[in-house]
Amino acid sequence: MGRTRCKLSESGASHADLDGDWVALVGPEIEENLSLRYLASSLLSAGFQSELLPLNGPKDLRPVLGALLEAARPPLIIAVSLSFQWRAMDFLELAASLREGGYAGHLTGGGHFGTFCCQESLGDFPELDSICRQEAEETLVELARAVKNGEPFHRIPGVATRRPRREVFQAPLRPPPEIDRLPWPDRRGIRQPQNHKAMLLLEELAVFVCFNLMIFDPDTTVESLEENFRFMETFGHVPFNFGRVELYAGTPLLRRMQKERRCRGDYMAWDYSLGNPTMERVFKLAIR
């Protein structure tokens, strides 16, 4: 079969060279797939690299299949998005083709449709090893650990799988994770061109916006300031102001800055210097 190649890291830079165990996250990437990007950041914080492989329609099937079957190191887990019911057949077709092509690793799925139809999907598609039901940040990490260590995974909360006699077994669901405790979604591949494209799209749709740009923050660099300037120049007709990120009570940023001993003042008005001395001078010239 002649395969079109889909470069791994199509959606942006990969975290590393995928020399360790990695998880392939395959799903639609129309705009940004927040579901997969939350899963990617949780995997990374548990030590698993991942790749996001967009499968936006049948034309992506062959390139994605090629990238997965020809990867220098096969993924520990291939996780397919079963969020959208009307797209489920594309992803299940991918699962079947992966098995035909020789992928012998763990194949899981997840998302709204998978959650509610795990019984039927696992019954009808022997290619799937498991389905992660509902919010899956913790479930997928625990599944990856179990698969890596060759441990049983059928009792991991949230996992549905087939038992030896082929009946589907659903472990109890877990309570949804606390959003504040989850790592920020992985936004690799989202750069200035995507933000500019989003603005143009909004304008086409006659949606008018204004901005409060926090161009100075504890970690501002010359490059990040220049990037913000390019945005202001390109969209100068849009109303905006700009300022510095302040350290408000109760925020994770204040906690971090206190831990790093970078705060001055007291709880009524914390102050700080920007980490980059050049940027601190620019800030003083621009605002103070």
From residue 3 to residue 32, the character string flagging contacts with ligand B12 as x (rule: CB under 6 A) and all else as - is: ----------------------x-xx-xxx
Backbone angles phi, psi at 131, to 5 degrees: -135, 135
Among 3, 99, 112, 262, binds ligand B12 (CB under 6 A): 112
Q: Which residues contact 9 (CB under 8 A, 6 or more apart)?
A: 51
User: For ligand B12, which residue of 6, 8, 24, 39 counts as binding (CB under 6 A)?
Assistant: 39
33 in contact with ligand B12 (CB under 6 A): yes
Residue 200 within binding range of ligand B12, rule CB under 6 A = no
140 binds ligand B12 (CB under 6 A): yes
Separation CA 170–CA 207 (nearest Å): 45
83 binds ligand B12 (CB under 6 A): yes
Beta partners for 240? 211
Torsion of CA 239, 241, 242, 243, to 10 degrees: -160
Binders of ligand B12 among 144-173, rule CB under 6 A? none
109: contact with ligand B12 by CB under 6 A: yes
Cβ pair 172, 139 in contact under 8 A: no
Contacts of 185 (CB under 8 A, 6+ apart): 32, 34, 37, 38, 40, 41
By CB under 6 A, is residue 110 in contact with ligand B12?
A: yes
- 84 scored as a contact of ligand B12 (CB under 6 A): yes
Tell the smallest beta-carbon distance from residue 127 to ligand B12 (Å): 14
132 binds ligand B12 (CB under 6 A): yes
Burial classification of residue 148, based on how many CB atoms lie within 10 Å of its CB (0-12 exposed, 13-18 middle, 19 or more buried): middle
Q: Which of 39, 49, 44, 55 is nearest to 73 (CA)?
A: 49
Binding of residue 174 to ligand B12 (CB under 6 A): no
Q: Which residue is nearest to ligand B12 (CB)?
A: 110
Interface residue list for ligand B12 (CB under 6 A)? 25, 27-28, 30-35, 38-39, 79-81, 83-87, 108-113, 132, 135-137, 140
